[in-house]
Structure 1
Amino acid sequence: MDWLIPAGYFAEYLLVAVVAFAVTALVVATHYEGVHALARRFASRAPRRDHLAMLKIIFALLALHIVEIWYYGLAYWGLVMIPGTGFVHGEFGMDRLFDAVYLSAITYSTVGFGDLAPVGAIRLVAGLEALTGLLMITWSASFTYLEMSRLWADERRR
């Protein structure tokens, strides 16, 4: 299986794959529950009673994304502590938890400055995070658009 995984690293690569998929599942579930809670909370809200509804929704979604970024950051932080799972290349590497969360934020948002780059098996986490971040951000944008249309359309009719 050397064509797929470097010889002698099957367990490490399997661990990274399990962690990557588990964190991705956690992020999707968290986002689903967060958006669902927002939908329930603001569905019956009358625009005249709460003009700040859209700001509350935006800040709640932003907080949700920050939590999700931290999930991936903690996964990076934990995985680089395990020999054979990979490391992060950069001027300072990933010496601090902040560096892991920063790597997660630029990956989740698909900005990818390139000052930190995962090397080895943990690249799978980065790939899944970028795809998941793109989906979660567009999901939030769609939800925001629908809520804005509903709240602002109601306001115009009054």
Structure 2
Amino acid sequence: MLQFLVGTLVSLVSIGLHALATVVAIGFARSAGLRHTARPRSHLIGVMMATAVVLMVAHMLEVLVWAATYGIVGATAVENGLLYFAFVNYTTLGYGDVTPVREWRLIGPLTAMNGVLLFGWSAAVLFEVLRKTLDHLEAAKAPGFTKS
């Protein structure tokens, strides 16, 4: 039961970090995406790249939180590489070359479940930023468009 409690708490921290990153990414995308530009393709690429970078930083911070948790609870030996173990679990890569101690063997699947959820969330954010930016760029071409 302790594994589920710890996994749930760390997942909530990760979700909170991701929510914050989403707010930052969308705020940036809105302000940058609404600018009138003479080079719409380059502008779109810049908005998408910046959004992706913010989300990737969030994922890396989330992996760091999982790695720290592994160290705190003693889920695996430190010499096995806590950060590596966290990345393998979070990304569902699953090499299997580092395994948790028996008492914490559910922490990997809980981490993977969190990572899958947050990667899906990131994909949805990227798609929405792309859609909104494209909508704005199309509207900017229309006659009578006023900069807002």
Do the aligned partners of 1:73 and 1:100 also contact (CA within 8 Å) in 2?
yes
TM-score, structure 2 as length reference: 0.79
Partner of 1:23: 10
1:42 and 2:24 are equivalent in the alignment: no
Greater displacement, 50-59 / 63-72: 50-59
1:151 matched residue in structure 2: 133
Distance across 2 between alignment mates of 1:60 and 1:71: 17
Structure 1 regions of 5+ residues with no counterpart?
A: 1-12, 81-86
1:48 is displaced (CA, Å) by: 4.0
As a proportion of its length, which structure holds more helix? 2
Q: Number of residue pairs matched?
A: 133
Answer yes or no: is 1:105 the counterpart of 2:75. no
**Contact 2:90–2:116 under 8 Å retained in 1:** yes
Is residue 130 from structure 1 mapped to residue 112 from structure 2 by the alignment? yes
- Write the distance in 1 (CA, Å) between the matches of 2:64 and 2:138: 39
C-alpha displacement of 1:129 = 0.7
What RMSD over aligned residues (CA atoms) do the two structures have, in Å?
2.0
Describe how 1:38-77 pairs up with structure 2 within 5 A.
Answer: 38-45=25-32, 46=34, 48-49=36-37, 51=43, 52-77=46-71
Aligned to 1:34, what secondary structure does the other structure show? helix
Q: Deviations over 1:91-128 (max 9, x none)?
A: xx5316xx111111111111111111113122222111
* 2:20 maps to 1:33: yes
What amino acid is aligned across from residue 78 of structure 2 in structure 1?
M
Structure 1's consecutive aligned runs of 4 or more residues displaced over 6 angstroms after TM superposition are: none
SS in 2 for 1:74: helix
More strand by share: 1
Work out the percentage of aligned pairs sharing the same amino acid.
Answer: 21
For structure 2, which runs of at least 5 residues remain unmatched after alignment? 142-148
